[in-house]
Amino acid sequence: MQTKKRYPLLTVFLVVLAINVSLLLLGIFIVHFLNVPAGKDSVDRIFTLKGLAREMLSIICQTYYFYFSLNYFNGLIVGRKAAIYFLRFSLLLLLIGFSYFWVMQLLFPQKASADVPTNNRLMLFSDGISSLFFAAITLLLAYLNNLRDEQKQRKILEAQKLQLEVDKSHANFKFLKSQINPHFLHNTLNFLYAKSLPYSAELSEGILTLSDIMRYALNEATGSDDKAPLKDEIEHVRNVIKINQLRFSNKLQVHFEVNGVVNDVEIIPFLLITIVENAFKHGDLQRPEFPIQIKLNIEHNRLYFYCHNRKKTGPKEISTGLGLDNIRNRLDFAYGSNYKLNIKDETDFYTTELTIDKL
């Protein structure tokens, strides 16, 4: 975050110029349409050589006033200085403000008219209020801009932290894959599959399904944006359902429905499967009246995923919640604000809804 010259001189000048021109145009508009006689004389004096010189000097003085005061206040705020520093500088700004109005009155004295006589006390009070306003608005602007800078910096740090976590996860995953020889694993599973065929069709089917699951988990054929084909993710979900059905002798009540065209659609891998595995882990899936409901709809580059299951009764497996936290982090990183993850944790049921608006 910048602590020196947070506000460039040119930027301050352009803002001051824009404000003064806007106020001048507003004054002309009011005088013209409201037909204010005293105001017409003031407007006419502005467009004299002396009046234009006064306005230009005023703009230059205001530019340097705001340039130095804004940057100094910004330095105090960033440095977390005590209140006495702000009070001391504010008093200095009040003195500078009084001096500015006094010098401008000496250089360009306002002539009293018959209708509006000069009131020195009123002028002194007006100068004091203006000086106080200038100092207060400077401090307020510096504080609000610094607050905005801190929010931007916080978002940048959070994004960097998330990126580091993603990079760490990728590094850990690649290290894990480097410890496993995929060819050796697949050959071993194929050997066990061939050997088990004569003894048990169910066992051989389980080994073949496990081989497909491991192949997807170790597959490196993801795109440059670390996404995988949605059809592969769906196939992985089907394999996990199949392996769990084999574990429970095909007694699990599972309804899995896919609607829409899934070809040429990509998604970050292991996203849907984490939700499904969570349902298998904590769900009561053997009651026909309460099957696990898994629905996936794809339409116009929009994904909607729904998973609903009845909870197990009795002793429950301990859950750390890391799977869902990981899902949220990966969704934030991959899709930003283009997704919604709604989780409804009721007494007897657990529902997860995921919507991704732009795949």
What's residue 320's pLDDT?
41
Rounded mean pLDDT, 43-49? 71
Percent pLDDT > 90 in the chain is: 20
Higher pLDDT, 46 or 296: 296
305 has a pLDDT exceeding 90? yes
> Can you list the domains of the chain with their CATH numbers?
9-110+118-155 (no CATH), 182-220 (no CATH), 229-356 (3.30.565.10)
165-190 pLDDT, tens digit each: 777 777 666 655 555 556 566 667 77
131 has a pLDDT exceeding 70? yes
177-236 pLDDT, tens digit each: 555 556 566 667 777 777 777 777 777 777 877 777 777 766 644 444 578 899 989 998
281 has a pLDDT exceeding 60? yes
From residue 195, give the alpha-carbon distance in Å to each of 75, 200, 358. Answer: 76, 10, 46
Structure tokens at 283: 């769900």
Higher pLDDT, 98 or 56: 56
| Cβ pair 111, 152 in contact under 8 A | no
How far is the C-alpha of 90 from the C-alpha of 73, rounded, in Å? 9
**pTM of structure:** 0.49
How far is the C-alpha of 68 from the C-alpha of 144, rounded, in Å? 17
93: nearest Cα among 60, 119, 121, 71:
71
